[in-house]
Structure 1
Amino acid sequence: GVSYPESLQASAGSCLVVPCTFSYPAGVTTSAGIVAIWYKDYEGQRLLVFHSAAPKDVDPQFGGRAQLLGDPRARNCTLLLRGATPGDSGPYRFRFEIVNGDRWSAVRDVTLSVSEEPERPGVTGAEEQTEGQRSTLECSTPYVCPGGDVVLQWEGYDPRVSQVSGRVQLDTGGVGQRVTLTGSFSWKDHSKKLRCEVSAGSKRASTELVLRVRRTYRWYKDGEAVATGQVLALRAVRRQDHGRYRCEARNALGTRASPPVTLRV
């Protein structure tokens, strides 16, 4: 059997990798070699994308662009396609032939989708943050190119209080990469813009996130809680409003109180 993802995405101009593995019965002898073959539109035009034994027969549109990264002797059929174009979109299928033996084709295709412009990265994590509390924001893209044509990164964060880590998935279960921003934010970060950008070749796409840093305010009159919110408004002031007022601001780090103010009525 043959294993690869169901579908893959790429942006025009960058490369595309199709992770692929295959297997055959234990009793099969492969000492004479294995021929690896990739087709586009196997059920229709059957365009030859790669042929390890007959490279001259490859369709001109794939000439010099398709390369087998995997070693067939290790049952690896991973394909690299450079300079992807929207015209490369479509179904692809792997076939292998045991020299002087049997031959097998995959039972299904892997569908490649190449867009002219890169899609904006996906961002997960809350825009609303609690001050002083560590949180995680994650950015992801389905684009992966080992040659460095695809770069995913966070911008606008303070490296003194935040850390970034990255992870790439490149296996038969799927392809993609993500960067995780972990840190804590203060009131100074309120309304701050964080941006995750993917660059694929010379093209870029980004997703922006505006932070809202949460803290709570509570007002006290003569030691008793009377209101919440950053501003205390007293309308139609009466004699009963006479007293000492103070404000408390609370976040994940603790509570701070303002000096008391006396209101004389």
Structure 2
Amino acid sequence: MDKEAKFMITCLIFAVICSSASSDEWKATVVKSIDALVGSCVVVPCSFSHTGGNLPSSRLRAMWHYKGKTPDTKGNNIFHSDTTLIKDNFKGRTKMLGELGQNNCTLEITEVKDHDNGPFCFRAELVRTENNDPTKDMFSFVEDCVELNMLTEPPKPTLTQPMAATQGEPYTAICSVMHTCPTHVPTLQWNWKTERIVYHRLIHSGNWETLSILTFIPEEKDDNRELTCTAEFNGGQTSSSKFTLNVKRIESYNHIIIPAVVGIGTALLFGIFCIFMAKKYKNRIAELQNQEGTMWNRLSRLSRSSLSDASTSPT
């Protein structure tokens, strides 16, 4: 083998090693599968990393393309930094969320069609300038692609509530719904006009949950009333769930207490009246007795006086 052949083989081996090392420096994390509601939107989480330090967004280009298709060809891309290379029926429906300079390659698809199932792969291009000659380093992550599970019907909300409500005591019900589009959060509405708390949280791998917490004080008239929660998704589709409210009544003892109080009050009044009358009659009897004693005394004095006058008169 001559020196020129050996040199060519060495260069090829070196190029393969460098290419392998360069590929190893770039990694992407893309959710493998995610639900997408037809007519709504979906956000595909994606991030990438490299060992070359922070790179400015101006030096990076991003694209999402059909798996097995050439990214630089029009019709193969659902998103491309060059909008002229985006497939026509995806134009205006896809965009990147976040900054490439922050290693964020998350993709949003709006107005989801039933044929937007993919699989779709992410690709990054790094533009270098050497000797005033721009070059591109291309990194395709064809092993980390996403496939969309198309949903034609929206998911139903889940209702969580205590077993029974008690009249006059605070009662809480929770309505929650899963979705995959945090940029256009579903709205949750109750058929009950009262205050509610709504919040949003990430569950896992691009799946989000929106919750509405309803708190109120049930009354007796609310027994057997239907409580309904309706979820409205981006695109206008709705779904709802409901349950029947059972209100436990507080026992009323008024039918016992009121007559008892009236009876006791009547007895007290009657007792007071009897005491008053007895005291009055007693005083009257005492007065009569005193009057009788006084009259008797007068008669006794008159009698003694008459006897005395008779004994002293002349015969």
Q: Distance in 2 between matches of 1:29 and 1:167?
A: 32
Specify which of 190, 202, 209 is matched with residue 155 of structure 1. Answer: 190
Count how many residue pairs are aligned between Structure 1 and Structure 2.
218
**What's the counterpart of residue 224 of structure 1?**
none
- Judged with a 3 Å threshold, the aligned counterparts in structure 2 of structure 1 residues 33 and 9 are, in CA distance, closer, same or farther, namely same
AA partner of residue 109 (structure 1): C
Q: Distance in 1 between matches of 2:147 and 2:158?
A: 21
- Judged with a 3 Å threshold, the aligned counterparts in structure 2 of structure 1 residues 69 and 116 are, in CA distance, closer, same or farther, namely same
Verify the 8 A CA contact 1:20 1:171 in the aligned structure 2: no
Task: Name stretches of at least 5 consecutive residues in structure 2 with no aligned partner.
Answer: 1-26, 129-136, 260-315
Structure 1 residue 136, shift from structure 2 partner: 3.6
Q: Deviations over 1:54-80 (max 9, x none)?
A: 332222332232111222112111212
- Structure number with greater Rg is 2
- Between the two structures, name the one with larger relative contact order (CA 8 Å, sep ≥ 6): 1
Q: Distance in 2 between matches of 1:73 and 1:113?
A: 30
Q: Distance in 2 between matches of 1:170 and 1:18?
A: 14
- The TM-score normalised by the length of structure 2 is 0.58
Q: Deviations over 1:209-253 (max 9, x none)?
A: 22122347xxxxxxxxxxxxxxxxxxxxxxxxxxxxxxxx2xxxx
Structure 1 residue 176, shift from structure 2 partner: 3.6
Structure 1 residue 84, shift from structure 2 partner: 0.8
**What's the counterpart of residue 223 of structure 1?**
none
Quick check: which one's helix share is greater? 2
Specify which of 129, 147, 150 is matched with residue 114 of structure 1. Answer: 150
**What's the counterpart of residue 50 of structure 1?**
79
Q: Deviations over 1:17-75 (max 9, x none)?
A: 223222211447658611212124x25898421121x3322223322321112221121
Q: Distance in 2 between matches of 1:35 and 1:170?
A: 30
Q: Distance in 1 between matches of 2:248 and 2:70?
A: 59
- Judged with a 3 Å threshold, the aligned counterparts in structure 2 of structure 1 residues 177 and 107 are, in CA distance, closer, same or farther, namely farther
AA partner of residue 59 (structure 1): K
Specify which of 66, 85, 88 is matched with residue 60 of structure 1. Answer: 88
Structure 1 residue 125, shift from structure 2 partner: 2.8
Q: CA RMSD in A?
A: 3.3
Q: Distance in 2 between matches of 1:17 and 1:31?
A: 21
Q: How does 1:1-265 map to 2 (within 5 A)?
A: 1-27=27-53, 33-40=59-66, 42=67, 47-52=76-81, 54-100=82-128, 101=137, 103-105=139-141, 107-126=143-162, 128-131=164-167, 132-144=169-181, 146=183, 148=184, 151-159=186-194, 162-169=195-202, 173-200=206-233, 201-215=235-249, 249=251, 256-260=252-256
Verify the 8 A CA contact 2:219 2:247 in the aligned structure 1: yes
Task: Name stretches of at least 5 consecutive residues in structure 1 with no aligned partner.
Answer: 217-248, 250-255
AA partner of residue 207 (structure 1): S
AA partner of residue 189 (structure 1): D
- The TM-score normalised by the length of structure 1 is 0.67
SS of the residue 1:61 aligns to: helix
Quick check: which one's strand share is greater? 1
